[in-house]
Structure 1
Amino acid sequence: MQREVAIAVLLAILLARMPNVAAQYFKLENILLEVYENGITSVRMEFKVFRNFILNVTLIGEVLEEIGLIVEDENGFPLYYNLTDKGISVYVVDASEVHITYYTQTLTSMNNGVWRLEYSSEYNVSVILPEGSTILDMSTVPLQIDLSGEKPIFLMPAGEQYIEYTIPIYVTSSVTTTQETETTSSSRLTTSTLNETTTTSTTTAPSTTSWSTINETQTTSTKGKGENTTSETTQTSTSETSGSTKTEVKTTNRSEEEEATGFPWIIILSTIILLTVVGGIVIYLTRRRKIGVLRSEEILVLEAIKKRGGRCYQYEIASEIGLPKTTLWRILRRLERMGYLEIRKVRGYNYLILK
């Protein structure tokens, strides 16, 4: 009798612990939703894992297929996964962390200028809204609020949540300087007036104007013993028409005015040529420096991709290069940062494209 009771108690303990066995394999570190001004939301989930197993995760929103989904470990090495109707299954092998990143458009909507973020999660979620957002309504009080930065951050509790907000609309306008416009108009008017005055004085018939007085005054100043002499000559023309009306005509030297106006263009043209030459030298030296830092194994990787038409999967060159998967992945990531290639996720595998 005592033996049967002991067995029943042991079975009860085992049944009570079975639902928590899977939870002991991993621990959720963080779920972050960052909402952008166009409504697209970035979702990032971070888990700590303690053994090799299959991690089943329910995704928040539908994955935006144009951008795709990234699943990697703590070293940035991709992990194999499988999308299901309920979420994603990640095959954890020799990893201590699992990072899941993707984008979605199904969490936000806008009505009459008011945005609404709505989601459901069994865990607490950190939400980052666009810069300058004004909160209009919330489903519940946040666990934490951080308004110290440019973007508001809220830690929302688990469950079905929503946040309604508005974002400012920035209008860019070009301002024209009134002073410059008036100065340009004034200079054009002055030039036009001078031209008309010169033409009028030249084409006037001698019979309509009687030149009565021409005064020439010459002033001579002598300094020292007659070594330095300065002469000034002033000529005044006075005309009388139907009474005693006096008109003074001044002539402007056009050649000097045009020369003064054209001078800044020479400086601008020289500056443009100098900047072009300096920019070309900088680009040339940058490219030489970029090529010079390539290592031998990185050159082998680039040549292997080039042999296959500049596009191939990572596993296609893995056997040819003969490097461990982790080392090869780090080389590919470094080449991507340097701008030599692009890494895309195609059907769960890394697809390499030379630039």
Structure 2
Amino acid sequence: MDSYRRWSLIFLFLVPTLLLSASAQQPLVFVTILDSGLARVDYLIPAAGNVSLTVPLIGEPDASYLILVQDEEGMPLAYEINETLGVIEVACLNASEVRISYYTQTLTFKKGKIWAVNITSPYCVKLTLPPNSTVIYFSAVPEEVSVEGDSLSLVFSPGTILVKYIFTYLAPPPEEKPSAPPPGGEGGAEANVTEREAPQAYNATQAANVTAGEEETPRPSGLPSTHLMLLALAAALIAAVIAAARLLRRGPLPYHALELSEEEVEILEALRRMGGGAFQSELQRVLNMPTTSLWRRLRRLREKGLVVIEKRGGRNYVKLA
């Protein structure tokens, strides 16, 4: 009977220890989303005595950034990426833990003001969103939610995850302008109270006074007002016809009117020289521009309706709108 109790106590002490050690050895993936939509992916995978590991890639690593594959002491490990299978093969050697880090642009996409993150992972994922972002949808209920600084972090079980979020910025408080000293008498006091309680009505009254003042400006003598309106309408129609003719001749775009940066103008001119469309990688080689900078400017041009970005064979194809 004593031996039975002894083994029971040993079992009760060992089971929680084994469970904790097993949970501590589970692979974990950290995905951190930046403001621009670029994502950093970090793996922590126990080697468990294996000579090599085959790890599924989450997103396509961006070739513009380094891929770090290290052991628990920060020593580099040999690796090879199989793009066909979408995996990375790592030689573990004597490592007890494998750490993989890279950047990718294929996990996020934007539609209007809504950003979305789509992740498929065989491991648990800790997703950290950009600062000042608010989640409006997630396809799976997170196991854990925490706030780190201004960023929201969500922990999900293995599987496919879709999270949508928007940026929310607090508008600065309006500046308070000192009001003019009220005139003497009861009427002045009432006007001051009305101004403080209903600033919108006061502003509307000011606008009405300004408008009335503009209408009272004497018109120059000469043609009647009806003739002046007809002349203005004719001038507007002529300007519209001239603008349409310029567009039909495919002349250069009035970049100064669109408030484009020099880099955005270079992108549009490069697309014109390349026949109106090219893959993003081809544009990068021609412009010698970092991938992240190019992608950020392409998104701006797409939001302004100047370019269209399509997926062709898993690659971004950019063409003039």
- Does TM, normalized by the shorter one, top 0.5? no
Greater radius of gyration (CA):
1
